[in-house]
Amino acid sequence: MNNELFEKYQIFTEQTIYDLSQQVILLEKKLNVFTNLLEISKYINQYIKDQNLFPLINDMLIGVFGAKYSTIYIKIDEEYIEATPKTFSYSSIEEEKKLILDHMEKKFIINSSTPIYNTPNEEDSVYSCLGVPIKIDHRLLGFILIQHKEKDYFSKDHATFLSSLANHVGVAIENNLLYNQIKESAYRDGLTGIFNKSYFFDTLEAMPELNQLDYSVVMIDIDDFKSINDTYGHPYGDIVLKEITAIIKHATRPNDIVARYGGEEIIIFFYNFTDREKVFQRVEGIRKAIAQTVIKGEGMSSSVTASLGVYVKDHEHLTLNEVIKKADDNLYVSKRAGKNKVTLS
């Protein structure tokens, strides 16, 4: 064999070995991805019945992608509802929803040299964002957004892996929602249809690190409700309760919790809503709507009023019971001040 032929053979052999090694690396990479998907799927399936399924998945996504934040949105009646707690402001959630809609609810990658959207603190700024729809049988169940503070962080490989993972998340979410629908029937108030006190406490006390989260609580008491029952009868009193709860539900967001606290008292949990002026405006709007509504039924027609106490928990380490006590104290300030008032301290 002459030198020229030997060199060609050597180059061919080296190239073949290199190509084969690259194929092995690619196969190993695919095998690792498949193994990771199986492990993640097993992890998710352990918590199908857990009411904290969404935060658990969210924490897992942050760990897997080494991300700053992750948010899962569920699509209900054509609206995206945030299913996972985060430290962003309410306005940033609206900006995230806009990102989803701007990209036609399809997979997207954003790697930006400037912050993608405004955050309360500079250290929370996000420069990279990966978004993937959650689908089952071509039905859109929701959307996953993963954010990172580093620039040019996300790649097509990240998007491909998250898309595969979203299929497993979708199955888990659908099973979890079905389970919770059955369970929820036991947590509903029979008269008004809103949640009962047990659901309120069971749900919130199971929320991870609730003492560190920011939120607002509103206590509402129908003024002179005993007199309404005594004067017009209990059937009309039931109509009053149903009408007022309908007004309150209309003024709250889908991810807020409205529950019958006891008798004629209703409690609201405003998740991640702590702008004092906006909270007051929202609650004052509820008070006005109640006072301006003429309630008809049982051959009678009258208007009623309500007193409201509000407490905004903003960067405070307080238990849920402590926050409720402060809101209840404010409620009684409204009562002593002549009723039909909102007190926010």
pLDDT in tens, 301-317: 899 999 999 999 999 99
Structure tokens at 345: 């301290």
Band of pLDDT at residue 14, cut at 50, 70 and 90: low
pLDDT value at position 138?
85
Edge-to-edge order in the sheet of strand 108-111: 79-82, 69-76, 139-148, 128-136, 108-111
pLDDT value at position 62?
86
Distance CA 96, CA 336 (A): 43
For 156-188, the pLDDT digits (tens) are: 988 988 888 888 888 888 887 777 777 777 889
**What is the percent of the chain with per-residue pLDDT over 70, rounded to a whole number?**
83
Q: At what angle do helices 234-250 and 276-292 cross, to 10 degrees?
A: 140
Distance CA 228, CA 201 (A): 29
Structural domains in the chain plus CATH codes: 47-185 (3.30.450.40), 188-344 (3.30.70.270)
**What is the percent of the chain with per-residue pLDDT over 90, rounded to a whole number?**
49
Letter string b/e over residues 317-329, b meaning 16 or more CB atoms within 10 A of that residue's CB: eeebeebbebbbe
- Taking 50 as the threshold, does the pLDDT of residue 33 lie above it? no
DSSP E strand boundaries for the chain: 69-76, 79-82, 108-111, 128-136, 139-148, 195-196, 215-222, 257-262, 265-271, 294-297, 300-303, 306-313, 342-344
For 284-304, the pLDDT digits (tens) are: 999 999 999 999 988 888 999
